[in-house]
Structure 1
Amino acid sequence: MSLYELLLEPLSYDFMLRALASTLVAAVVCAVLSCWLVLIGWSLMGDAVSHAVLPGVVLAYIVGAPFAVGAIVFGFLAVALIGVVRDTSRVKEDAAIGIVFTTLFALGLVLISVTPSQTDLNHIIFGNLLGVDGSDLIQIVTLGVLTLAVLVLKRRDFTLYAFDPTHAHAIGLNPRLLGAALLGLLALTSVVALQVVGVILVVAMLIIPGATAYLLTDRFGRMLLIAPAFSAVAAVTGLYLSYHLDTASGGMIVLVQGCGFVLAYLFGPRHGLVTRRLLARRRAVR
């Protein structure tokens, strides 16, 4: 196979161009947000919100409203329910998160099964990257640009909230408001990535890039550059592999990200498992 067939042939199809644009937007936005999720320790919360938005998205489809509206409503509903269960019972936070997000996710599955539709709503669960049309692309780009703009403009406040909420409150910031804003952005980001990888794999795109960058650098500013760069490369690579190998595009993208994380985990410059053992052996020899 020539270089032309390998790299340029897929780009001769309109559906691949739309898929590539959608993938890059979703990958970059998810990766930037993932830096804060990993830093704050909200990985499980990211899983909860990304799954809990499913019934909101389906209900929005039923009434003809934008997907983002339903996602935000159910994203905040999930967070509120988790807080109520945690604060008014003996159930701990991790159990409350598991109960709420699985229940809401199941509600979404039931709604999909009983909703009459001319389109297959299962693409919300599993993604339909190659089926993204012009209107879907406009929605993905619009929500992605909006989310990324807020993250960039408020990055200092979000970073201070992640490192030291007490200090953030002392200088006049509202930690609860900042946390709510991040959760709202998480709901929007979930909508952006829904049609790329589906609800089930959204959490991977929200966690793996930030976790990988966290293993490669000790500076948060560099994380914000490494994570989206890594995610974009993995997304394009996964999309090309899915085209040439005829596999599921969303699954392949996440699989490439997972492989990248394994490499960082083993061979990271300072925190890689193999790297640390080699450095320890050299010091012992000296």
Structure 2
Amino acid sequence: MSTFIEYMAEPTAQRALLACGLFGFANGFTSAFVVLRKSALRVGTLSHGLLPGIALAVLIFGLTAWSALAGAVFAAMIIGLGSVFLSQTSRIDQDSALCILYTTGFAGGYIILTKLNVRQKLDEWLFGSIMGMRDTDLWIAFGISVVAVLTLIALQRPLLIYLFEANVAASLGVPVRFLNYVTFGIVILVLVSSLQAVGCILSVGLLITPASTIYLFTNDARTLFVGGGIIGMIGSIIAFFLCFPLGWHISSTIILVLGTFFILAYIFSPKYGLFAKRIKPAAG
């Protein structure tokens, strides 16, 4: 491909651009829940916990897009929802339960991977291969993203009450336990839907950074959802266009661009930026 126009004429590039916008918005929108819930560490642990599911699926069914996706969903549900169940039915808190399930699963997955000769293909699931997405992959991701975003919109009012005042939410009749399962399940689905695009190693950055950036500008919880989605989408699309002239890996560039947005917000935000914190005492 000698020119950018020829590059964009390729179906693979067109799918990659659509995927960047789709994944960026869905993950950015969902990241508001992660930030408000203060569960970034849990999501980070969960994203790495996808690996044992992929390894087990590859061992049983061979390495295909469907087997890896199914394995990731299985691992995420077992580890993620399992940690919620253990924390609610025992004295163990959710962070401890998540750590136990994640490390146990990861250890088993690593043992399986050492016996399999699929390193080259496996790298795509670890670090993403957005240029390798097919139409089917894009439609599956689109369906998951639409369901996730619409569900969060529909549950936004009880969800915000639950996030800020769980006891008040319970007294108002909000099904707190059900809401906990549903929202955590949504996070898992969004995380898995982005697996092929950005990989299980980098996916946590896409699911945390956008709303964290907006969080430095506003106290409005509803703005975090929309703003996070917009930041995620814009950052992902910018990364796509940067990759052609620079020859960079798209998935890594997406996280790099979003990380740059966050650093700039941290420094220059007029409300909560680094400079704003230093100017206020001087003004007083």
TM-score (norm 1): 0.85
Contact 1:72–1:184 under 8 Å retained in 2: no
Q: Which residue of 2 aligns with 1:13?
A: 10
Q: Which residue of 1 aligns with 2:136?
A: 135
> Structure 1's 95 and 81: CA in aligned 2 closer, same or farther, altered over 3 A?
closer
- Counterparts of residues 206-221 of structure 1 (less than 5 Å): 206-221=207-222
Cα offset for 1:112?
4.2
Cα offset for 1:236?
0.8
Contact 1:143–1:192 under 8 Å retained in 2: yes
Q: Which runs of 5+ in 2 are unaligned?
A: none
- Counterparts of residues 81-92 of structure 1 (less than 5 Å): 81=83, 84=86
Q: Which runs of 5+ in 1 are unaligned?
A: none
Paired with 1:280 and 1:130, the residues of 2 have a C-alpha distance of 49
Cα offset for 1:252?
0.7
Amino acid at match of 1:41: K
Q: Which residue of 1 aligns with 2:31?
A: 34
> Are 1:195 and 2:213 matched, yes or no?
no
Contact 2:84–2:181 under 8 Å retained in 1: no
> Structure 1's 267 and 18: CA in aligned 2 closer, same or farther, altered over 3 A?
same
Q: Secondary structure at the match of 2:53?
A: helix
Q: Which residue of 2 aligns with 1:162?
A: 163
> Which segment drifts farther, 113-122 or 219-228?
113-122
Paired with 2:171 and 2:232, the residues of 1 have a C-alpha distance of 35
Amino acid at match of 1:211: S
> Structure 1's 32 and 55: CA in aligned 2 closer, same or farther, altered over 3 A?
same
Paired with 1:83 and 1:101, the residues of 2 have a C-alpha distance of 14
Amino acid at match of 2:205: A
Q: Secondary structure at the match of 1:120?
A: helix
> Are 1:235 and 2:236 matched, yes or no?
yes
Q: Which residue of 2 aligns with 1:73?
A: 74
> Structure 1's 244 and 129: CA in aligned 2 closer, same or farther, altered over 3 A?
same
Paired with 2:90 and 2:154, the residues of 1 have a C-alpha distance of 36
Cα offset for 1:212?
0.8
Cα offset for 1:77?
2.0
* 1:200-257 Cα deviation digits (max 9, x unpaired): 0111111111111111111011111211111111101111112221111111110010
> Structure 1's 119 and 149: CA in aligned 2 closer, same or farther, altered over 3 A?
farther
Contact 2:83–2:94 under 8 Å retained in 1: no
Contact 1:57–1:68 under 8 Å retained in 2: yes
> Structure 1's 210 and 235: CA in aligned 2 closer, same or farther, altered over 3 A?
same
Q: Which residue of 2 aligns with 1:224?
A: 225
TM-score (norm 2): 0.86
Amino acid at match of 2:32: C
Q: Which residue of 2 aligns with 1:259?
A: 260
Identity %: 26
Cα offset for 1:162?
0.8
* 1:38-74 Cα deviation digits (max 9, x unpaired): 1111111111222223333444554486766544432
> Structure 1's 138 and 59: CA in aligned 2 closer, same or farther, altered over 3 A?
farther
> Structure 1's 190 and 166: CA in aligned 2 closer, same or farther, altered over 3 A?
same
Which residue of 44, 48, 53 corresponds with 1:51? Answer: 48
CA RMSD of aligned residues (A): 2.7
> Structure 1's 210 and 107: CA in aligned 2 closer, same or farther, altered over 3 A?
farther
